[in-house]
Amino acid sequence: MRIAGVVAEYNPFHNGHARHLEKTRVKGGGCEATHIVAVMSGSFVQRGEPAVLPKFDRARAALAGGADLVIELPAPWCLSSAEGFAFGAVSLLEALGCVDALSFGSEAGELKPLQKVVDIMESSRYGSLLRCFTGMGIAYPEAQQKAVAEIGGEKTASVLSTPNNTLGIEYLKALRRLGSRMEPYTVLRQGSEHDSMAPLGDIASASYIRSLLASNRLINSFAYMPSACAHALSEAAQKERLPADPVLAERAVLAKLRLMTAEEFKAVPGISEGLENRVFNAVRKAKTLAELENAIKTKRYPLTRVRRLIWSAFLGIPAGYAAKRPPYLRVLAANERGKEILSAAQPTVPLLYRAAQVPKLDEECQALWALENRVTDLYGLTLASPLPCGEDCTVGLIRE
């Protein structure tokens, strides 16, 4: 048995994801996994939005699409920077104690150029340059690229110009930080580009598929996902569990933020250097989420970061989580091979299958569980037919 871990959002699961899993399994292809565990974002995703459909439906689609075991990445790490997102996810794979390899997609399609950037980022000169550029008001991603270019040249730095390469670099950094024995393996990302609105054959970006779902063109989206995943989405749609729309929760979000003080905003993840005052003032004037986002964003604070901090404030996520390892492994779904992974696991944190286990866990685990419950309950307000509270406590392990 060779177990590979993947980090994903499956927002929603599509043919590109299926091919990544297929290539992770293929014999003679490098990774040669027999079993795959996916760490998947929960109710919210790293771009600072509610997931297009609930995590339980996405976990079911992930099993249908080729994953064997699905572990939830808790909200504080989902709504974090690429670094926090990657560290939280890789920490969970490491905590299972049985994962042999970490497989991820990248535009580079090979590890060498990504590892070269990681080497540069671990140098003292890079740290000094990064602080210099961010101090000049340059947005963090651009500052990273400029600092790498100063040391390794423009060609090396160009690796950071694409999103999957950037995440891959963060996965490699996390592996080193954790001293992990997992072997990194990368698959060349093919088909339409990230966020592209132009499908290429039967491959479309998740952004394009979400646009179809938002415009009530569910059937049109089926061409870009495995048939079993299409069936899972169809079932979810019949229950009005997709697509999530942030605007449906807009008044609730604005109401919560209007009740917050500047000092309370200061404690929100992603807020620093006096940004709390800008947010506080914007909240007092904004009548819509779009107005609020546009009033806060700057070149230094791009839209995705602004969206993450807005949702973190609404959900009541405190700062500090993303620098730590998640304290438990929440299992969302498993097939027979997934159960074999769990049998082989030597977890360093509690494995959580059901709500009844929570009272026996320590205070840190219980606090995160309570936070995750709140996040799921508030996420339910973004659906056309709002979900009642308590879904985290009533939906058990999804089995195939």
pTM of the model: 0.96
Percentage of residues in the chain with pLDDT exceeding 70?
99
> Which of 119-123, 190-194, 291-295, 325-329 bottoms out in mean pLDDT, i.e. has the lowest?
190-194
Question: How far is it, in rounded angstroms, from Cα 140 to Cα 319?
Answer: 18
- ω into 243 cis (within 30 of 0): yes
Instruction: Tell me the pLDDT band of 311, cut-offs 50, 70 and 90.
Output: very high
Q: Does 168 have pLDDT greater than 70?
A: yes
Question: How far is it, in rounded angstroms, from Cα 76 to Cα 369?
Answer: 11
Instruction: Tell me the pLDDT band of 233, cut-offs 50, 70 and 90.
Output: very high
Beta carbons within 8 Å of 395's beta carbon, 6+ residues apart: 56
Give one DSSP letter per residue of 326-346, joined into a string.
-SSEEEEEE-HHHHHHHHH--
Instruction: Tell me the pLDDT band of 317, cut-offs 50, 70 and 90.
Output: very high
pLDDT tens digits along 28-48: 878 999 999 999 999 999 999
Question: How far is it, in rounded angstroms, from Cα 274 to Cα 278?
Answer: 7
* Residue in the block written with tokens 């008044």: 251
Report helix, strand or coil for 211. Answer: helix
pLDDT for res 83:
96
pLDDT tens digits along 68-112: 999 999 999 999 999 999 999 999 999 999 999 999 999 999 999
3-state SS track over 262-305: HHHHHCCCCCCCCHHHHHHHHHHHCCCHHHHHHHHCCCCCCHHH
Q: Does 119 have pLDDT greater than 90?
A: yes
Question: How far is it, in rounded angstroms, from Cα 72 to Cα 49?
Answer: 17
Percentage of residues in the chain with pLDDT exceeding 90?
92
pLDDT for res 112:
97
pLDDT for res 193:
63
pLDDT for res 115:
98
Mean pLDDT of 337-348: 98
pLDDT for res 327:
98
pLDDT for res 30:
81
Cα dist from 219 to 153, 209, 225, 241, 391, whole Å: 47, 11, 11, 16, 27
Mean pLDDT of 325-333: 98
Instruction: Tell me the pLDDT band of 195, cut-offs 50, 70 and 90.
Output: low
In the numeric block, which tokens belong to residue 344? 């082989």
pLDDT for res 194:
64
pLDDT for res 191:
64
> Which of 56-70, 166-180, 265-279, 280-294 bottoms out in mean pLDDT, i.e. has the lowest?
265-279
Domains in the chain (CATH in brackets) are 3-107+183-245+322-399 (3.40.50.620), 123-160 (no CATH), 246-320 (no CATH)
